[in-house]
Amino acid sequence: MIHSTAIVDKAARLGVGVRIGPYAVVEADVTLGDGCELQPHAVVKQGSEIDADCLVGHFAVIGGDPQMNGFNHSLSTGVRIGKESLIREHVTVHRSAFEKKATLVGEKVMLMVGSHVGHDCVIGNQVTLANAALLAGHVHLADFVFVGGGAAFHQFVRVGESAMIGGRAEVSADVPPFLTVVDRNLTCGPNLVGLRRRELPNESISEIRSLYKKLFMGTESPTLLAARLLEEAADVKTPEGYRFLEFFADGKRGFVRSRTRSK
């Protein structure tokens, strides 16, 4: 169903059962999967692809240009959003700044009111951004990450799976998987609530707690210690433990610090 006041380009590709509300805008070269809904005044711009059963809320804008000086507006770039994602009111998701590339949002993602996803971000599956959370360009959020309201991220930051970012946190360093981060780049330990909600085995949760203490509560460099533990292998018994340590092998922004040791 398309409301009579909506503006839908003839070159847009609409799936079965798509609903487009009053005054919504769908530009050319847009794909809306089966069962998608655009609420009144939503805007989906050229080059955006939204998979099945997604909702785009009032005044949300998907596929707007990157906020960068000198951007070449003629580039063919876009946004890809996975199925069953919920994009609430006034959310903005900007398209890639590079030819034939796309900003990527996974499946079953919830972007709450007023949150922003900058150009070339990569968001995993079942990620939640609470109200007014802000991602600069090139931020990577792995699966099951939860971001509290008003949190802000520096460009190129990586956040590992099942991390929890507290409300109004300032994140300019990489966040390893499974941790909770508050304030400015401070971790206060594993995200135990999130890990239990994922129903991870108790062995995995215990190992994550143990590895956190080794890497963040000691005096040795976490990067060097993680590399050594991976080489020895005997002390790592779960897949989650391996993924936690492997995260330290990459990245250019450094890592969050222990709040306890900082005090």
Q: Are 239 and 204 in contact (CB under 8 A)?
A: yes
- The one catalytic residue among 51, 120, 143, 174: 120
Residue 164's DSSP bridge partners are: 146, 180
Q: 222-232 and 239-246 helices cross at what angle (nearest 10)?
A: 140
% of the chain surpassing 70 pLDDT: 99
pLDDT band at 22 (very low <50, low <70, confident <90, very high): very high
Q: Name the 3-class secondary structure at 55.
A: strand
Per-residue pLDDT, averaged over 25-44, amounts to: 98
- What φ, ψ does residue 110 adopt, rounded to 5°? -115, 120
9 is catalytic: no
% of the chain surpassing 90 pLDDT: 94
Average pLDDT score over the chain: 96
pLDDT band at 262 (very low <50, low <70, confident <90, very high): low
Q: Are 153 and 140 in contact (CB under 8 A)?
A: no
Lowest mean pLDDT among 15-19, 199-203, 217-221: 217-221
pLDDT in tens, 210-261: 999 999 998 899 999 999 999 987 779 999 999 999 999 998 899 999 988 7
Per-residue pLDDT, averaged over 155-172, amounts to: 98
Q: Find, among 182, 240, 231, 250, the residue nearest to 210 by Cα.
A: 240
Residue 219: what pLDDT?
A: 87
Residue 73: what pLDDT?
A: 93
Cα–Cα dist 100/52, whole Å = 22
- The one catalytic residue among 41, 116, 119, 140: 119
- The one catalytic residue among 21, 82, 137, 166: 137
pLDDT in tens, 178-198: 999 999 999 999 999 999 999
pLDDT in tens, 50-106: 999 999 999 999 999 999 999 999 999 999 999 999 999 999 999 999 999 999 999
Residue 175's DSSP bridge partners are: 159
120 is catalytic: yes
70 is catalytic: no
Residue 149: what pLDDT?
A: 98
Residue 263: what pLDDT?
A: 58
Longest dimension (CA), the chain: 66
Residue 34: count other Cβ atoms within 10 Å of its Cβ: 13
- What φ, ψ does residue 216 adopt, rounded to 5°? -110, -15
